[in-house]
Amino acid sequence: MSSITQAAAKGEEERSSSIIMEIRSGVGGEEAALFAQDLFKMYSKYAETQSWKIKILDSSQTEMGGLKQIIFEIKGEGASSKMKYEGGVHRVQRVPKTEKGNRIHTSTASVAVLPVPESTQIKINPRDLKMDFYKASGPGGQNVNKRQTAIRITHLPTGLIVSSQTSRNLEENKKAALNILEAKLFEKERKEIENKIAGERKTQIGRAQRSEKVRTYNFPQDRITDHRISKKFYNIEKILAGNLNPIVKTLQKNL
């Protein structure tokens, strides 16, 4: 992996027109997976309003149509600067579709936002990769392809594991998985550089960025609270329909 400076890492994040986003369902079982699906739809619709392009790199669905996880690339001007504050744990409070007693449940989903590095910034030695091929699976785990077109790549020096199975073409899945790996390696090195320069305080902040609760979606009160700036936004359905600009602009101004 190539060495990058702190300035280069920060500059890449700010000007990047390509990012990779990863959404994973958290606490809450099927409801958490349905919430992860809601978040993906929200980001997809917001991307449309910004004339960005979205490409799904990997996904895993539940039988009810929720998402265990999804990894996708967004390309377009300003994608990184507008989406970088979405990273963290998102919490939802609502009555699940599976709930018969009309009780409010709390579920979570985590979001990661990774700037896509230029190809010259990350060099991966093919000898550092272990590739496993398998049959793609659909909701519930059933095989949906007779050929082994899905791929799992392990980066041996770091232990990072990525996969892709969205295409019926092995080479396309391999390319998608390598794109995910490059972005994760770039983010890993960028964080290591930041932490080394800024010391232990920065290290602790960096660790918390992904794990902290950044936003709560309270359906009974029709309210979204961003905990980082203690700001409330109303009309959840409109926001989930892609109207993210009020939140994005407020975060850009205050963070």
Name 4's Cβ contacts closer than 8 Å, sequence gap at least 6: 12, 121, 186, 189, 190, 193
9-50 residue pLDDT tens: 455 455 558 899 999 999 899 999 999 999 999 999 999 999
120 to 82, 123, 124, 153, 169: CA distances (angstroms) = 24, 7, 10, 21, 26
Residue 128: inside a domain: yes
By residue range, what is the domain housing residue 237?
6-254
Residue 126: inside a domain: yes
Residue 11: inside a domain: yes
Residue 200: inside a domain: yes
Give the chain's domain count: 1
Q: What is the predicted pLDDT for the residue at 123?
A: 83
Cα(128)–Cα(115) distance, integer angstroms: 22
Cα(26)–Cα(67) distance, integer angstroms: 10
The pTM for the full model equals 0.77
Residue 1: inside a domain: no
Residue 227: give its domain's CATH number: 3.30.70.1660
Our CA angle for 204, 115, 214, nearest 5°, is 45
Residue 197's φ and ψ, nearest 5 degrees, are: -75, -40
Name 49's Cβ contacts closer than 8 Å, sequence gap at least 6: 242, 243, 245
Q: What is the predicted pLDDT for the residue at 98?
A: 74
Residue 172: inside a domain: yes
Residue 224: inside a domain: yes
Query: Which H/E stretch holds residue 245?
Result: helix 245-254
66-105 residue pLDDT tens: 999 999 999 999 999 999 999 989 999 999 877 778 899 9
152-171 residue pLDDT tens: 999 999 999 999 998 889 99
